[in-house]
Amino acid sequence: MNESCSSQIQVKALLSVRTLWLKQCVVSMSLGTAAILLTACGGGSDGGGGTLSGGGDSDGWKAGVYKSADNFENYCAAPRSGASNITGIPFPDKRGSALQEKNFLRSWSYETYLWFEDLPDLNPSSALTPQEYFLRLVSDKKTASGSFKDNFHWFEPTENEEAWSAGISYGYGLNLKIDWDAPLTIHVAYTDNGSPAAAKGIKRGTKIIAIDGQSVTTLNTDILVDALRPPRINAVHEFELQEPGAVGTRKVTLESASLPTESVSIAKSITHNGSKVAYLQFNTFIPDAQDQWVTAVNALNAAGVSDLVLDLRYNGGGYISVAAQVGHMIAGANTTNKVFYQNVANSKMPKEQPWAFLDTGLYGLNKSLTLPTLNLQRVYVLATGGTCSASELVINSLRGIGVDVYLIGDTTCGKPYGFLPQPNCGTTYYTIQFKAINAKGFGEYSDGFIPSSSDNGLDKIKGCKVADDLAHELGDPNEALLAAALQLRATGTCPTTATGRQQKLSEDENTGEFMQPETRKLLILDR
């Protein structure tokens, strides 16, 4: 690899890491039910199991020749012993080498990567770690808009992926928006119910001024990230906060805890223009979301709602199976015998049958039971650049069967691609392996879905472009995105101006991005 190419990859990796909280090494989407969701080699020994050679020649690598990834899978430089603390499944690791780990990544990428013909064939005998080597196994081609074709290539510790899938997280219950441009600013997007942050009365729109007595603008990045997203329980930090509209500040001490993931934060009925409208804040497509949706839909049906405002503004995605269930619980009879999505993989992978919407429980309390539905013909979706992957899949799939979708907020993240997460030797790798298209054959929204004055049937969706409003709590009918959705529903028009308070906040907070690990921007194939 030449120096220019290497530098380009390093820059891409750095930007991805920053967006993901820098420390969480690089959302997968999910489609279905069963998750599809270091020492150098020394001497002549390969540490057991298969030859080291990727191609069969004496130095262990021959360009363009690939052995099956099965020859190298689970042969590890530092094999784990015992079983996962989260799943209880014994580790499959066998004594091996870093070279075998890299040979596995090389062959697995060539076999499954959507754009395998774009991959560089790099000698795995280099001094790179397996993770560094993996970051280079990516297409450097660009789209027509000039952005990289593949902006979603990363890895994370397998225990992190297992914890997320199980609905376990560590922290204070703070969900943040951050603007990295100088001077760095951090605001609270929302707090999780029942969390340490909620117990201290921290509200949406609150600005974090300092941590442990030091301004966030001068904190070392590693220290800042560790304080904001502690990877453990019992981490204690003092935060200096400025509440929305306040002149002064206050200090609170927060201690991190193990928190259940709150997929559905708010589900309520709003009376507007003479009828009842459902508002549902949905944060992530994990298995636990199924039962939370069932509870919400039953309550909303009991309230007699006739429309739905679905808040996906901070939802980075998750399991495709859950997305297929959500689509059914929204549209009901409209989804019967309809295609939810079609998986388009590379030419080496077997062609799959189209996926149907799912009307049956797959997890938890409602496993094998018929799911309830709102049975709606239209839905109003609140979105931002944090609306990604499985969230976009729901939007695209509902449009594919003729359900009217309205988009309020900002352009979505643009991720029509998904993964089959691959654990190996304690690291789970995500490389794009398929593209999702809807029943009409459309799936090219790599630059995001765009709120527009009209719907072109493709990437432009009728709706309203509105800035995220941190001046009001989520679910407040006066919050800008929700207010715009209610107005669009009632009059067919979009708001023309923001309130003075909202405008002031827009100039400050709304320039930031919602902070979530890239590994939570997911479309995970799981069935």
- Per-residue pLDDT, averaged over 38-48, amounts to 31
Looking at residue 202, what is its pLDDT? 98
> When comparing pLDDT for 247 and 523, which is higher?
247
Q: Which residues, in sequence order, are CB contacts of 214 under 8 Å at separation 6+?
A: none
How many domains does one find in the chain? 3
329 in Cβ contact with 293 (< 8 Å)? yes
Of the pLDDT bands very low, low, confident and very high (cuts 50, 70, 90), residue 505 is very low
Residues 233 and 332 in one domain: no
Q: Which residues, in sequence order, are CB contacts of 223 under 8 Å at separation 6+?
A: none
Looking at the predicted structure, is the pLDDT value of residue 363 above 60? yes
The answer as to whether 422 is a domain residue is no
Residues 277 and 210 in one domain: no
Of the pLDDT bands very low, low, confident and very high (cuts 50, 70, 90), residue 516 is low
- Per-residue pLDDT, averaged over 507-511, amounts to 48
Residue 200's CATH number: 2.30.42.10
- Per-residue pLDDT, averaged over 195-205, amounts to 97
382 in Cβ contact with 189 (< 8 Å)? no
Looking at the predicted structure, is the pLDDT value of residue 33 above 80? no
Residues 226 and 370 in one domain: no
Residues 235 and 328 in one domain: no
Cα 154 to the center of its chain, rounded Å: 12
Question: Of the residues 147, 165, 183, which one is the last residue of a structural domain?
Answer: 165
Q: Is 160 exposed, middle or buried (0-12, 13-18, 19+ CB in 10 A)?
A: buried
Residue 312's CATH number: 3.90.226.10
- What mean pLDDT is reported for the chain? 86
Report DSSP state, residue 148: B
Query: CA-CA distance, 379 to 405, in Å (whole number)?
Result: 5
Of the pLDDT bands very low, low, confident and very high (cuts 50, 70, 90), residue 523 is low
Q: Which two three-digit tokens encode residue 400?
A: 């594919």
The answer as to whether 516 is a domain residue is no
Looking at the predicted structure, is the pLDDT value of residue 41 above 60? no
The answer as to whether 517 is a domain residue is no
Question: Of the residues 260, 286, 313, which one is the last residue of a structural domain?
Answer: 260
Residues 273 and 368 in one domain: yes
Looking at the predicted structure, is the pLDDT value of residue 26 above 70? no
Look at the block and give the residue holding tokens 């069932």: 294
Torsion of CA 128, 521, 242, 215, to 10 degrees: 10
Of the pLDDT bands very low, low, confident and very high (cuts 50, 70, 90), residue 524 is low
Report DSSP state, residue 205: T
Phi first, then psi: what are they for 360, rounded to 5°?
-125, 145
The answer as to whether 377 is a domain residue is yes
CB atoms near residue 65 (< 10 Å)? 12
Residues 356 and 247 in one domain: no
Residues 488 and 408 in one domain: yes
- Establish how many alpha carbons lie within 13 A of residue 125's alpha carbon, considering only the half-sphere containing its beta carbon: 13
The answer as to whether 51 is a domain residue is yes
Range of the domain at 441: 264-416+435-510
Angle of CA points 113, 118, 124, to nearest 5°: 75
Closest of 335, 434, 451 to residue 389, by C-alpha: 434
Long-range interactions of 496-505: CB distance < 8 A, separation 24+: 498/467, 498/469, 499/471, 501/245, 501/471, 502/467, 502/469, 502/471, 502/472, 504/471, 505/205, 505/244, 505/469, 505/470, 505/471
pTM for this predicted structure: 0.84
- Per-residue pLDDT, averaged over 251-261, amounts to 95
The answer as to whether 323 is a domain residue is yes
DSSP secondary structure of 283-345: --B-HHHHHHHHHHHHHHHHHT--EEEEE-TT---EEHHHHHHHHHHHHGGGGTT-EEEEEE-
Closest of 449, 418, 255 to residue 323, by C-alpha: 418
Looking at residue 3, what is its pLDDT? 36
Angle of CA points 515, 518, 520, to nearest 5°: 85
pLDDT (tens digit, 9 = 90+) per residue, 125-166? 999 999 999 999 999 998 777 888 898 898 999 998 898 788
Residues 406 and 455 in one domain: yes
Question: Of the residues 260, 290, 325, which one is the last residue of a structural domain?
Answer: 260
Residues 96 and 188 in one domain: no
Residues 35 and 136 in one domain: yes
Looking at residue 498, what is its pLDDT? 53
The answer as to whether 425 is a domain residue is no
Looking at the predicted structure, is the pLDDT value of residue 29 above 50? no
Residues 50 and 155 in one domain: yes
What stretches of 117-229 show up as alpha helix (H) in DSSP?
130-135, 158-165, 196-199, 221-228
Residues 306 and 451 in one domain: yes
Closest of 153, 78, 167, 84 to residue 421, by C-alpha: 153
Looking at the predicted structure, is the pLDDT value of residue 367 above 90? yes
Q: What is the distance between the terminal CA atoms of the chain, rounded to a whole angstrom?
A: 37
- Per-residue pLDDT, averaged over 189-193, amounts to 95
The answer as to whether 523 is a domain residue is no
